[in-house]
Amino acid sequence: METLSENACFGGVQGVYRHTSTACQCDMTFGLFLPAEAKDGPVPVLWYLSGLTCTHENAMTKAGAQAWAAEQGIAVVFPDTSPRGEGVADHEDYDLGQGAGFYVNATQTPWAPHFNMWDYVAEELPAFLAENFAIDMERQAITGHSMGGHGALTLAMNLPGRYRSVSAFAPISNPTGADWGRKQLRAYLGDDEAAWTKHDASLMMKEVGFDGPILIDTGASDQFIDLLRPEALAAAIAERRQQATYRLQPGYDHSYFFVSTFMEDHITFHAEALYGD
């Protein structure tokens, strides 16, 4: 592991680290905020998965998570959104390739060798964090924005018992039913739409749901709301009678102004689950 930076932050440390990933077959960079309590022993962790075009840095510097995480004694990890570097496949479109991993394990050429973000986030990075930092992997929660909200919801529903709570900011809620999703799922996973199901939060909600609390916020003035399809996920939640709070926030768009506005709510929501019995 290479330490790229460490800065004092709200009594804790905001670090940026690079390590060699077996899953992605390249070097990966992530951000990690550790609160002051981590000096005395392992602390619970909240995963923050970012959206299209982002790196580890966007949410780390714009979401305002550290202040609220420090107040609650929670670590926050900010993974990158895709593999990167020389030899890693890319695409001229912003919503495919580097910066657009969609949190899947790709099976198609040219993506398959590196684009294994599911395994990276679900298996490799958690093991790496547990080995190198004071983090309690028995107490995990997950959130994300846009493409990252899609990743947070699908990981939570596919890995029962892993996360105590899940939340999302403006998640891509029904990718099999929108242009933000069908294009990427076909490119990464091929034409068999049965393989797409586990990566669609609305379909997974109907099929399995989540054994824990859910909080979702979407801006009612989100410029991408037709691609996000919040109504599909809301309908699936209602049909399953899933424990969830789903809020449309009047006047808010898709930006980090929206995310940072409701970050306190989400951190508090996860803290209740992470410190509960």
Q: What are phi and psi of 104, to 5 degrees?
A: -125, 165
Name the active-site residue from 114, 150, 254, 270: 254
Q: Which of 50, 202, 222, 270 is catalytic?
A: 222
Please measure the distance between the N-terminal and C-terminal CA atoms of the chain and give it in whole angstroms. Answer: 34
Q: Give CA–CA dist 185/191, Å, rounded.
A: 8
Catalytic residue among 146, 165, 173, 202: 146
Query: For the purposes of burial, counting CB atoms within 10 Å of the CB of 149, is it exposed (0-12), middle (13-18) or buried (19 or more)?
Result: buried
146 is an active site residue? yes
Residue 270 DSSP one-character state: H
Residue 191 known to be catalytic: no
Cβ-contact 212, 166 below 8 angstroms = yes
Q: What is the C-alpha to C-alpha distance for residues 80 and 99, in angstroms, rounded to an integer?
A: 8
Q: d(Cα 195, Cα 118) in Å, to the nearest integer?
A: 14
Active site residue 217: no
Q: Which sequence positions are flagged as catalytic? A: 146, 222, 254
